[in-house]
Amino acid sequence: MQLNLVESNGQYLADSRDVAEMVGKNHFHLTRDIEGYIKVIEENPKLDSQTFFIPSTYLTKQNKAAKHYLITKQGCEMVANKMTGEKGILFTAAYVDQFNQMERSLQNDYSQLSPQLQQMIRLEQKQSEHDKRLNQLENNWQIDSFQQNVIQKQIRKRVYEIRDNYDNSEAGTRRLFAGIHRNFRDAFAVPSYRDLRKLDFEDAKSWIKSWRPLF
């Protein structure tokens, strides 16, 4: 069996249903594995899970929407790396060969175009890559001093809102401050609230408003 690759935004994608059939795996089990990979990837703010796996839906024979994933070349490499034995080797050989064939085909298609059109396509691809890198950088920018001040004030406000329900002594208040800062760092995977990503700023404010100590 061959992978039915589709072209989207200048890259080729494989369907998780085809991958499951090729490696002799139940599609439900493969999507479950992929979701596990995505969870690990998303724990690292420097990585984008859609560089590997893009969630999508399809219509079943019963005309119901069902989940599947469009898998990039990097995603196929990740899937292949988790496999052992003959099926893993055959899948690796198949996806490498087909991705390379499609990329060569795309290059050949470009060669038939005028130099002006080829240049336009290259410029669009560079712009798309630039926009993607810029978006990733923007998502990982840290909050500015004004936003840090907002977070700090909201943490203080939350502690004083709830301290009478726990221990409003000086020592109890210190424990609440230590607890909310510790839980904040764990919740947003940062060494300090000052290192919070701008992308998480609104979520952090909501989190603070609903925080309660775990002790």
- Token pair in block for residue 208: 């603070």
| Distance, CA of 69 to CA of 200 (rounded, Å) | 26
C-alpha distances in Å from residue 115, one per residue of 17, 32, 102, 111, 118: 38, 46, 21, 8, 5
| Distance, CA of 193 to CA of 148 (rounded, Å) | 7
Q: For the segment 33-79, what is each residue's pLDDT rounded down to a tens digit? A: 999 989 988 888 888 888 889 999 988 888 888 899 998 888 888 88
If we measure between CA atoms, which residue out of 148, 5, 144 comes closest to residue 75?
Answer: 5
Q: For the segment 147-194, what is each residue's pLDDT rounded down to a tens digit? A: 999 999 999 999 999 998 888 899 999 999 999 999 999 998 889 999
If we measure between CA atoms, which residue out of 110, 87, 108 comes closest to residue 25?
Answer: 87
Q: What is the pTM of this model?
A: 0.46
Q: Where are the domains of the chain?
A: 6-113, 145-210
If we measure between CA atoms, which residue out of 56, 68, 70 comes closest to residue 3?
Answer: 70
